Amino acid sequence: MRLTRLYLPTLKEVPAEAEVVSHQLMLRAGMIRKLAAGVYSYLPLGLRALRKVEQIIREEMDRAGGQEVFLPGVQPAELWEESGRWAVFGKELLKFKDRHDRDFCLGPTHEEVITDLVRHEVRSYRQLPLLLYQIQNKFRDEVRPRFGLMRGREFGMKDAYSFDADDAGAERSYQQMYEAYSRIFERCRLRFRPVEAETGAIGGSFSHEFMVLAETGEDSLVSCTACAYAANVERAEIGPARQASPAEPERPLEKVATPGMKTVEEVSRFLGVEPRALIKTLLFETEQGPVAVLVRGDHQLNEGKLRRHLGCDLLALASESMVEELTGAPMGFAGPVGLKARLLADQAIRVVRNGVSGANERDAHLVHVNHPRDFQPATFADLRVAAEGDPCARCGGEQRVSRGIEVGHIFKLGTKYSEAMGATFLDEAGRERPMVMGCYGIGTGRTVAAAIEQNHDEHGIIWPVPLAPYQVYILPINVKQGAQREAAEGLYRELTDQGLEVLLDDRDERPGSKFHDADLIGIPIRITLGDRALKGGRAEVKRREAAAAEEVPLAEVGARVLELVRG
């Protein structure tokens, strides 16, 4: 493709609307344009990168035995009522009525539609397992769409659904998808990590997210430096805290005045102790009655873990009046010693020696608080958010926290949808049983954006070769110069004939502006044709990420470029 013909409206300025680098670069490189909040048009360059991701996904889904289907974006309410999600999905589910006043929604995901399809066609265990997938636009009415393709409302997704006769089969399907996803992101040449994750609105019993590692990622992931364990920080388990050795001797409990000191920061500064010496007492209201939860001063409670531990639906911080009723003191002075409430503690509390807690009395704290001498929680459990340096739950090794972008998510759904919607089959013994399902998503546009977050510099995008909209950029310094133009046209034909995707910068522009655009749009290999090198029968070949170019004899440029593209 010639740049004089390519619809490539690049921007010189960083657009004000774009907060993250992938969004900025996709706008500047003429890949996408915003139509409405969270709704984007793909221009030719952006669409080519998207198609690259889609094609890799398609090949790997087919290889894993998947069959491609294409389901409607508009879905009838009845199916969502059957699954029970019409009422509970929330405002992200965009609902509307058609001209006959029937209720519909724009599909944010397709569990209902696919389950409906399969329940009408699959009757026998002989038709299982079945893996269907599609690549299609979804709509989720995010309250605050942002970061361009990263958190859009209309967005591209590959979604796959597996149907198995039993749990063992479902487990195999899940494992196959895990492996297919790993191959997909490897083929995209992205640095990524599969992590254990929460299941959220999709439901099911178990899930993994595939995270592209990038400092600018919205998600935190925890991984062990010693073993393979990795999880989303929302989910990450933590091993038991180790007792300091030798243990500090217990000192006598003592009440100290802490006038007006309520927060961990205030108390630790006032008493001259580290926040880790403090025992925070958090009071919650639940449908099971009030609950007090102890967490170390430098730790953060993980409400998801607490909710799962309690098995409660309602979990709200206690009101000021409830705190006063339970502790006899205003907020900020609660403590476990003598507290008349159901008491839970994060496992790290077990080894706190001579800690500090509220005294359940205005303007007073206790120091030298020790378990089990001074308080006895009903349970110790893993209740906190994992942090850098925490012990691994699997091997005790040290955990590290990094940033990532969730590009894929695989779920073991079990029989949640098949039972609700009657997707059953007859097993070998002729018994009717619900199919065991899994579902598997990849954000296609988000993968493109994540590739940019991970691969860019101050000049622009640095495409991994498999995702590059074009692989080669031929840049004659001056197209009015006959020898340059001729060499450029010759290489353009030669490389195109070899099956490479080539951009020829045939614009009559200043060299600086051409170099600028080549770097901005990030084509992996640039061939520069200038007078000096051409006189020696050579061209400059430069990888986008390399600091320097190499001079290559014209006759060898084709072979060298192929080598770099395939390398």
Q: How far apart are CA 562 and CA 567, in angstroms?
A: 8
End-to-end Cα, the chain, rounded Å: 23
Residue 7 near a second copy by CB under 8 A: yes
Residue 71 near a second copy by CB under 8 A: yes
Count of positions on this chain that bind a second copy (CB under 8 A): 50
Stretch that binds a second copy, among 41-49, 169-177, 272-280, 527-535 (CB under 8 A): 41-49
Q: Which helix (H) or strand (E) holds 439?
A: strand 436-443
Residue 94 near a second copy by CB under 8 A: yes
Residues in region 135-194 near a second copy by CB under 8 A? 137, 139, 141, 143, 153-154
Phi, psi of 245 (to 5 degrees): -135, 125
**Which of 74, 226, 483, 555 is the binder for a second copy (CB under 8 A)?**
74
**Which runs of consecutive H residues, i.e. helices, occur in 293-401?**
303-310, 320-327
**Which of 19, 88, 96, 555 is the binder for a second copy (CB under 8 A)?**
96
Stretch that binds a second copy, among 30-38, 342-350, 375-383, 434-442 (CB under 8 A): 30-38
* CB of residue 92 to a second copy, shortest distance in Å: 8
Phi, psi of 488 (to 5 degrees): -65, -45
Residue 205 near a second copy by CB under 8 A: no
* CB of residue 313 to a second copy, shortest distance in Å: 24
Residue 497 near a second copy by CB under 8 A: no
Tell me: cis bond preceding 336? Omega within 30 of 0 counts: no
Local structure of residue 252 (DSSP, 8 states) = -
Residue 75 or 327: which CB sits closer to a second copy?
Answer: 75
* CB of residue 163 to a second copy, shortest distance in Å: 10
Number of neighbouring beta carbons within 10 Å of residue 462: 19
Residue 42 near a second copy by CB under 8 A: yes
Instruction: Compose the 99-138 pattern: x for residues touching a second copy by CB under 8 A, - for all others.
Output: x--x-x-x------x--xx--xxx-------x-x----x-
Residue 67 near a second copy by CB under 8 A: yes
What Å distances lie between residue 398 and 226, 246, 247, 492, 498, CA to CA? 7, 21, 21, 53, 50
Residue 89 near a second copy by CB under 8 A: no
Residue 176 or 402: which CB sits closer to a second copy?
Answer: 176
> Of 397, 409, 32, 421, nearest to 222 (Cα)?
397
Residue 76 near a second copy by CB under 8 A: yes
Phi, psi of 471 (to 5 degrees): -95, -30
Residue 220 or 471: which CB sits closer to a second copy?
Answer: 471
Residue 51 or 350: which CB sits closer to a second copy?
Answer: 51
* CB of residue 455 to a second copy, shortest distance in Å: 22
Q: From start to end of 288-435, where are the E strands?
A: 289-296, 316-317, 342-346, 355-358, 364-369, 379-381, 399-414, 424-426, 432-434
489: Cβ–Cβ under 8 A, 6 or more apart, which residues?
504
Residue 127 or 288: which CB sits closer to a second copy?
Answer: 127
Torsion of CA 70, 76, 78, 81, to 10 degrees: 80
Interface residue list for a second copy (CB under 8 A): 5-7, 9, 33, 35-36, 39-44, 47, 50, 65, 67-76, 91, 94-99, 102, 104, 106, 113, 116-117, 120-122, 130, 132, 137, 139, 141, 143, 153-154
